[in-house]
Amino acid sequence: MLLIELLDRAGREGAVVVLKIDGQRDRRRWTVVVSHAEPELAHRGDFERVDQAVDHLRTWLAQLPGDWSWLDEPVEDLDLLG
């Protein structure tokens, strides 16, 4: 799957996901924020690389209510994003 497909599927399961890159930072430029209808399930993390952010996102999504059985599918375009 592509990264956009992962984000779209997460949204269909009820998650709100923000993935951003902060070009002004020297370190931990990638930020991922995950929220859900249940406020205690919100989470944020900052990472050096996009693949780290997506790995963390997958781990966090798997803890949310919903069907996350598809999370193990590879994300094909991560290498292109740097």
| Tens-digit pLDDT profile for residues 26-37 | 899 999 999 888
Instruction: State the helix-helix crossing angle for 50-61 and 3-12, rounded to 10 degrees.
Output: 20
Percent of the chain clearing pLDDT 90 (strictly above): 68
Q: For the chain, how long is the longest CA-to-CA vector?
A: 36
Cα 29 from Cα 5, distance rounded (Å): 22
The reported pTM is 0.85
At 66, the pLDDT band (50, 70, 90 cuts) reads: confident
Cα 70 from Cα 13, distance rounded (Å): 11
How many angstroms separate the Cα of 80 from the Cα of each of 3, 36, 49, 62, 77?
A: 11, 29, 12, 25, 5
SS3 for 45? strand
